[in-house]
Homo-oligomer: A and B are copies of this chain.
Amino acid sequence: MTRTEAESADTPTRVAVSTVIFGLRHLPGSDATCVVLPLVRRTRDPHEGQWALPGGWLGERENLEVAASRTLAETTALAPSYLEQLYAFGDVDRSPTRVVSIVYWALVREDEMSSSQEGAQENVAWFTATELPELAFDHRLIVDYALWRLRNKVGYSRIAHGLLADEFTLAELREVYEAILGRRLDPANFRRQVENSGTLIPTDRFRTGSHRPARLYRYNQDVELAERGPLEVR
């Protein structure tokens, strides 16, 4: 990436927003689930042809979170139920012109993902988080940071709910944790920990199918999805 003195003197700092959206996908022909995210193929320079996070410029009269939602909808047709600011990336050399990117991250449930996939947005594809192509700009660092935040947060919040339907079995909840943490968890230990946490409410319903019936649970709505402190009330 090269930059001339003239170029950067002419271009003031611009503010962009980007969003890292995580979903889960069951791998066909296996019982493994993995974390996936949508990327957009760039159709212009810089980095034409490379994959990048969905995003765009901050509108003059647009709040940051609104801009994140708008650019996400425009590029991927996704409208995730949970959106949180991740970090502002602003290194001088992250782009040929000076761009400060305010990055959000979001989770989508499987039903929200498929509506986007049916829409078949041009230049959008879902990738497994552990098998990403080369990414434009510093987007690989951004994805790595978002994954780290996701793994951390799943330990101390009920954020896994953002990836599940309203009612779920303990096995389904465990699969979410396993996919995020990238390792298997002991089913009996997991059940004990979750039951002791007070975050789940058992329902009277059961999932039936090829396995023996499994009780459906839902999250206790009195516990915050993820505490955001004073920013909650904005």
Using CB atoms and an 8 Å cutoff, list the residues of chain A in contact with chain B.
Answer: 8-9, 12-15, 58, 60-64, 85, 87-88, 90-92, 98, 100, 102, 141, 144-145, 148-149, 152, 156, 227, 229-231, 234
Contacts and interface: CB of A to CB of B under 8 A. Distances in A.
Contact of A90 (B9, B102, B227): B102
A13 B152 CA distance: 33
A62 to B, nearest CB: 7
Contacts of A234: 91, 141
Given A15-B15, A87-B85, A90-B15, A230 B141 contact: yes
A227 B152 contact: yes
24 contacts: A8-B60, A8-B61, A12-B12, A13-B14, A13-B15, A13-B58, A15-B90, A15-B100, A58-B100, A62-B92, A63-B90, A63-B91, A63-B92, A64-B90, A85-B87, A85-B88, A88-B88, A88-B102, A91-B234, A141-B230, A145-B231, A148-B230, A149-B229, A156-B156
A232 to B, nearest CB: 10
A64 B100 contact: yes
A87 B9 CA distance: 28
A91 B85 CA distance: 13
Nearest to A230: B144
Contacts of A141: 230-231, 234
B230 A145 contact: yes
Q: Which 4 A-B pairs have the closest CB atoms?
A: A148-B229, A64-B90, A144-B230, A88-B88
Q: Which of A8, A9, A231 has the most CB of B within 10 A?
A: A231
A152 B229 CA distance: 9
A12 to B, nearest CB: 6
A87 B152 contact: no
